[in-house]
Amino acid sequence: MKSKTETYDINGVQIRQRTLTKPYQNRDLLQYSRENRQKYNLAEIVFWKQVHRGKFHGIDFTRQYVIGNYIADFYVRKLGLLVEIDGGYHAGRKEYDARRDEYMRSLGIEIFRVSDYDVLHHTILVMRELERFIVGRFGEGAACGAACETTPPFGHPS
């Protein structure tokens, strides 16, 4: 992992950028991920409107990014941060999601997981929780604690 000297600022806290080695990308999924960028669900649209073009503290999010044999909903390369918006379809995929999370963590990728319900009904809280998560994981001098929870402490159980 290479370190960058550039930083983001979230509420006065400097956020360290880092660049992970570019992960393997399953070429068979690349075209599929490009097609998926045109097929949003409503929660992804709402989230994307909050983060695209650097609207969220200047951080560059990518949609439908292929990592290994998986497609991330949103990925921040300069942080090694994956954002997953879980909908009802995740209910029967707990083992798949656990394997996927384990793979991502083995690459040094941090995972912020939120329900589609929360994105749709508590957007402001989700964005504040994402700020807190990023500060807790990547902020200068950050020590993980409650700020590093991977699931926001509110909303609807999916």
Q: Are 122 and 154 in contact (CB under 8 A)?
A: yes
Residue 138 is predicted with a pLDDT of 95
- Tell me: pLDDT of 150 over 90: no
pLDDT mean over 83-104: 84
pLDDT of 34-64, one tens digit each?
Answer: 666 666 789 999 999 999 999 999 999 999 8
- Which one-letter amino acid corresponds to residue 16? R
Residue with tokens 């045109």: 38
Q: What is the DSSP letter of 127?
A: H
As assigned by CATH, the class of the 2-148 domain is alpha beta
Q: To the nearest whole number, what is the mean pLDDT of the chain?
A: 83
Q: Report how far residue 65's alpha carbon sits from residue 87's, in angstroms, rounded to the nearest whole number.
A: 18
Q: Report how far residue 36's alpha carbon sits from residue 115's, in angstroms, rounded to the nearest whole number.
A: 19
Of residues 88 and 81, more confidently modeled? 81
Q: Are 54 and 41 in contact (CB under 8 A)?
A: no
pLDDT band at 158 (very low <50, low <70, confident <90, very high): very low
Residue 2 is predicted with a pLDDT of 41
Q: Report how far residue 40's alpha carbon sits from residue 31's, in angstroms, rounded to the nearest whole number.
A: 16
Prediction pTM value: 0.80
pLDDT mean over 15-22: 83
pLDDT of 103-130, one tens digit each?
Answer: 999 999 999 999 999 999 999 999 999 9
pLDDT band at 145 (very low <50, low <70, confident <90, very high): very low
